[in-house]
Amino acid sequence: MEKSRSFLKKEQHLMMLFAPVLLVAIITGFVVFYLKAHTVWLQWTVLLHIVTGVLLSVLLIPYMVTHIKRILGIRRPIVFLSGVIATIVLVGLAATGLNIAFVGQEQANRWVFDWHIWFSFVFTVTLLLHVVVHSFGIYRNKRNQQIIFQSIPATTQYFSLVSIVAAGVFILLATTLYSWLYKGYVDQAVTQNYEYTYGPHPFHPSQTETENQDFVDVKRIAGSFDCASCHQQITQQWMASIHSQAASDISYVKNIKLLEKKKGIAATRYCEGCHAPVALLTGQLTSGGKHGGIKGTTAFKEGVSCMGCHGIKEVVHLKGVASYRFAPPEGYLFSGNSNWFATKIHNYLINLHPQQHKKDMARDILASPKLCATCHVQFMDKEVNNWGWVKMQDEYSAWLASSFSSQTEQSFAHEKVQRCQDCHMPLVSGNDPSADNSGKIVSHRTLAANTAIPWINGDTEQFIQTQEFLRAGKIKVTIDQPRKTDATQSDFFVEKAIRSNIDTPSFLYLGDQVTINVIVTNALVGHNFPGGSTDINEVWIAFRIADAQNKVVFVSGLLDGEGFVDTQAHFYRSLPVDRFGKHVWRHDLFNMVGNIYKNSIPSGKSDIVPYAFTVPYWAQSPLTISAVVRYRKFNKRYSQWVFGDKKINLPITDVASDVITVPLRYQIPVRVLN
C-alpha cells in the first residue's frame, strides 16, 4: 500500500506539468486544424502548439513509466485496455509531431502529417473513454475512491485552467504587439513623382496589372535567393536558367539601353514586364529610376524572379507583352524582415505549416500554357513604334494549332495534352520539400534554345543540357533519295508483270542535271520551328555533296572566315523592317513595322527544300550527300554589335542531320533497234 501511495504521489507531481501541457497542445492543435484562415494569431497558435507538443513529448516518458508502475495489478480490463490504446496512440502522435517539428511538412512524406491528424483524433476519443470509464469505476468502488481521486488533485485542475488562459493571453499579446511593431509592406512607387507617360495605367505599354493597379513593395516580388534556404536545388536550377538572367543577359542590356536612349525610360516598361518585373512593378521605370539593365540593381540580379512567375494570379489576356495580373502571396510572420532571428521564425513557420505557402506558390495558372502566353506572345502598338499595330512572336497560338494542344480538328478528342511546361519544365529527380512521392521536382532550368548565355557565362551544365534539348530528335531532316525512273540496265525484254513492283534504282549519271530534295520536319516541337526571337537567331541548312575523294561537288550554308553564314543558304528566320524598308537588325523592335521575310515550320509540318546541281564528269563514285539543320543563338552581325568583338564566335548546334550515298555511272548511249 505504501509503495502504491509513493507512486501515486510521484504521478501527481508529474501530472501537474503533464496535464496542462497536454490540454494546451490538444486545444491549439484542433484550433490550427479547423480554422483555415491565414491570420497572425493563428500563426502564433501554430508556434505555441509546436512548443507544447515538444514539451509534451519530453514529459511523456517519465509520466507514463510512473503511471504504468502504479496501475500494475489493478484488475479493471476496460480502463486498462483504453489506457494502453491511448498510450500507444500518444507515442505515435508524439513521434509524428516531432518529425513535423524538426523536419517540417514535406510533400513526399505527406503521410506523416496525415497520421499525426488521425493519431490526434483517436487519442482524444480514447482518452475521453479512459477518463469516463475510470470515473465510473470510482463511483462504483467506494474503497478505492479516496486514493484514485487524489491522483487528480485540485492543484492539477487549477494549473490546467491557468495554462489554458495563459495560452490565450500569450496569443492575444503576441498578435497585438506584432501588429503594432511590425509595419509590413509599403506598396508605392520607389521613385518619386512617377510619370504616367502612357496614360492612367501605371505600367503601360506593358500589359501587366496588379490588384487595384497599385505598385508592389520590392520585398513582395524580389528575394529569390532567400528561397534557397528551403529550395536549394530548385534555386540553383533557376539561377542557371535564362529566366533568372532575363535582365542581365548582355544582349538585353544592349537593347534596353538603346530603347531608353531613343524613347526614354518610360518606354522600357514595354520590355521590363517580362524581362525585369521587379523594376516595373516597384515603380522604377520613370525619370530618376533604374531599369533592369543597370548592373547592381535588384532587377538586374534576379531577372524573372521566383515571384515573377509564382506571384501571377491570372492571365489578363492572350495578346502577350506581360499580360498577367500580379498578386503577392499572403505573408507569414516577419515576411520581408532582414533580422536573422525573425527570418528563421518566418522560414520555420513556412516549413512547419506550409498550407498557405502551397496555395500561393502553386496556383492553378502555373500549370496552364496560358501563363507562358503572357510573355511568349508579343505585339507592338503605335504608342511604341509610332506607326501601328504589328504582330510578333506567338508561341501560344502556334501551340494551339499543333496536335500537342488537342484543340485541332485532327486531335480534338485526344485526352492527352502536352503543355509548354511538359517540355520546358519536366519532372526531374530532386531532393526538395516540394518533391512528389516519386522524389520528382519540376525542373526550373526552363531549357529552350539559348546556348549563347550559358556559353558566355561558362555554365557548362546548362550549355550541355540546352544542346541536348535541341538535339533530342524533335526536328528531323531527310534527304530524298534520287531515283532513275527511265533507267535502262539491259537490252533484254522483261515482262511488265514482273517489273511492275520493283523499285527504280538509285544512281546518277555523270553530267546529269539533278535536283535533290531535303525535307525538314518539325516532328515534336509544340510550336513553330524556330520560335522566339527569329530576327536575331539563326537556323539554316548546311548542304554538301562530295565525291569518293571528298572533292566538293556542291555546297550551301557554309561559314566564311569571319563566321558569317553563306547568304545563299536556306534560312529559317524573319527579317523585320522599319517604315523606310530598312532591315531592323539590332532587335530594335520599336522601329519595326513588319517583315519582308519570315520562314518557319509549323508543328507537325515539313518544309521541302530543293537543291539543283550538275554532276561533274570528274566526280568519283559514289557521291556522299549530307544535310544538317544548324542553329546559332544570335547571328554574326547582331553578336558583333552586342559584344563589340568581331572575333567572338558563338557556338553552333547541329540540331538534325542526314547522309546518303548515291552511285555514279557513265551513261551508255542508247541503241536504236531497227
Gap between the Cα atoms of 372 and 391, Å rounded: 17
* pLDDT value of residue 671: 61
**For 472-497, what is the mean pLDDT?**
76
* pLDDT value of residue 181: 87
* pLDDT value of residue 291: 97
Query: DSSP assignment, residue 312?
Result: E
**For 451-469, what is the mean pLDDT?**
97
Range with top average pLDDT, 129-143, 331-345, 620-634: 620-634
Percentage of residues in the chain with pLDDT exceeding 90?
A: 73
Percentage of residues in the chain with pLDDT exceeding 70?
A: 89
- Mean pLDDT in the chain? 89
C-alpha cell at 232: 536549394
Q: Which of 575, 633, 629 is closest to 607 using CA atoms?
A: 629
What does the pLDDT look like over 340-377, one tens digit per residue?
Answer: 999 999 999 999 999 999 999 999 999 999 999 999 99
Q: Which of 356, 307, 297 is closest to 336 using CA atoms?
A: 307
Q: Which of 324, 320, 325 is closest to 380 using CA atoms?
A: 320
* DSSP per residue, 389-407: -EEEEEHHHHHHTSGGGT-
Gap between the Cα atoms of 587 and 575, Å rounded: 10
For 234, the enclosing helix (H) or strand (E) is helix 232-240
pLDDT at 9 over 90: no
pLDDT at 147 over 50: no
* pLDDT value of residue 510: 94
**For 483-512, what is the mean pLDDT?**
68
**For 565-577, what is the mean pLDDT?**
97
Q: How confident is the model at residue 146 (pLDDT cuts 50, 70, 90)?
A: very low
Give the residue carrying C-alpha cell 513623382.
Answer: 193
* pLDDT value of residue 145: 45
* pLDDT value of residue 150: 40
Contact present, 306 and 238 (Cβ < 8 Å) = yes
pLDDT at 216 over 90: yes
Range with top average pLDDT, 99-108, 126-135, 175-184, 538-547: 538-547
**Chain centroid, CA 471 distance in Å:** 22
> Strand pairing partners for 324?
315
Pairing, β 664-665 against β 508-509 = parallel
pLDDT at 148 over 50: no
Q: How confident is the model at residue 182 (pLDDT cuts 50, 70, 90)?
A: confident
Gap between the Cα atoms of 602 and 530, Å rounded: 9
Gap between the Cα atoms of 208 and 269, Å rounded: 9
Cα(first)–Cα(last) distance of the chain, in Å?
Answer: 137
Q: Which of 670, 659, 671 is closest to 509 using CA atoms?
A: 670
Between 609 and 128, whose confidence is greater? 609
Give the residue carrying C-alpha cell 467506494.
Answer: 142
* pLDDT value of residue 149: 40
* pLDDT value of residue 547: 97
Q: Helical H runs in 35-153?
A: 40-71, 77-103, 110-140, 145-150
Contact present, 195 and 56 (Cβ < 8 Å) = no
**For 288-313, what is the mean pLDDT?**
97
Gap between the Cα atoms of 409 and 89, Å rounded: 58
pLDDT at 277 over 80: yes
* DSSP per residue, 13-42: HHHHHHHHHHHHHHHHHHHHHH-----HHH
Upper half-sphere CA count for residue 353 (Cβ side, 13 Å): 25
| CA–CA distances in Å: residue 662 to residues 522, 570, 599 | 26, 23, 30
Query: DSSP assignment, residue 187?
Result: -
Gap between the Cα atoms of 195 and 568, Å rounded: 48
pLDDT at 8 over 70: no
Q: Which of 290, 312, 288 is closest to 301 using CA atoms?
A: 290
pLDDT at 503 over 90: no
pLDDT at 490 over 80: no
Question: Which of 347-361, 430-444, 494-508, 540-554 is predicted with the least confidence, judged by mean pLDDT?
Answer: 494-508
**For 146-173, what is the mean pLDDT?**
78
* pLDDT value of residue 544: 98
**For 96-119, what is the mean pLDDT?**
91
What residues contact 63, with CB distance under 8 A and at least 6 apart? 11, 14, 15, 18
C-alpha cell at 226: 532567400
Gap between the Cα atoms of 420 and 339, Å rounded: 39
Question: Which of 61-65, 111-115, 171-175, 463-467 is predicted with the least confidence, judged by mean pLDDT?
Answer: 61-65
Q: Which of 419, 388, 392, 378 is closest to 275 using CA atoms?
A: 378
